Amino acid sequence: MTGSRPGGTLTLAGVTVARLGLGTMRLTGPGTWDDPTDRVGAVRLLRHAVDSGINHIDTADAYGPHTVEDLIRWALHPYSDDLLIATKVGMVRPAPNVWHPLGRPEYLRAAVEASLRRLAVERIGLCYLHRVDPTVLLADQVGTLAELQQEGKIGAIGLSKVTVDQIEQARATIPIDAVQNVLNLDEPDDPALEHCHDLGIPYIPYRPLNAGRHTGPDGAAKALRHLLDRGPHVAPIPGTSNRGHLDELIAAVTQET
């Protein structure tokens, strides 16, 4: 382990972060909707993660919607300089378990402005396009984020759930600082993984434990170590709402480092 960072470190959006991050989608109610049952427990979990050396917290305005960004502010603000909070915009939530991409430039701009207020920051360290909206030119979607970056409201720009072709389309407009795709033992093949390695782009696997299929200390260790071994640019973001489970995940990536 490098310093006190679980799993070692890599540079993401200009910040040296632990290669084990924390995904926060589980810090909501059922259907990724509304507040968690134990709001105080969620705040304590976020603080415990940071106290344990995790300094990469991944969220989205669609979680709740808006719930988790508020929780992060309550739990962690004012933020330390070495804490990277990444959020995502470009998805609307009309109901529990319902997700629709929305990449119209005016919506993306409004979403970023709202996330800035909820997180209580002047600049989002890393902002992802949550999903590519097939009804809007990708160049217009990432171009809007680039405008916000030039205005100082976004630090780095990422893409989520994208193909190699989409990465290249986006890179024709702006530099891409991170790619977040599904990768786990059951879904191990993503051409974007090697493509990001070749380009020097950090690759952030979400659903690294495949929604809990790889649980328990041994299962989590196997799954997470497998991902970390896929390349030094890989930084998984498992999610949990349980402090004991979080400690298991941290132990899984530190026992051999």
pLDDT of residue 122: 98
**Distance from C-alpha of 89 to C-alpha of 87, rounded to nearest angstrom:** 7
Beta bridge partners of 154: 124
pTM of the model: 0.96
Active-site annotation, residues: 63
Range of the domain at 224: 9-254
Q: What is the pLDDT along the chain (257 residues), one digit of tens a residue?
A: 334 899 999 999 999 999 999 999 999 999 999 999 999 999 999 999 999 999 999 999 999 999 999 999 999 999 999 999 999 999 999 999 999 999 999 999 999 999 999 999 999 999 999 999 999 999 999 999 999 999 999 999 999 999 999 999 999 999 999 999 999 999 999 999 999 999 999 999 999 999 767 776 688 889 999 999 999 999 999 999 999 999 999 999 986 44
Whether 1 is in a domain gets the answer no
The total domain count for the chain is 1
* 2 falls within a domain: no
* Residue 4 within any structural domain of the chain: no
Cα maximum dimension of the chain: 47
Buried b (16+ CB within 10 A) or exposed e, 49-68: bbebbbbbbbbbbbbbbbbb
Q: Determine, yes or no, domain membership for 116.
A: yes
Q: Where are the beta strands (DSSP E) in 25-93?
A: 56-58, 84-89, 91-92
Asked if the bond preceding 238 is cis, omega within 30° of 0, the reply is no
How far apart CA 55 and CA 221 sit, in angstroms, is: 20
Asked if residue 3 belongs to a domain, the reply is no
Domain of 206: which CATH number?
Answer: 3.20.20.100
In a domain, 33, yes or no: yes
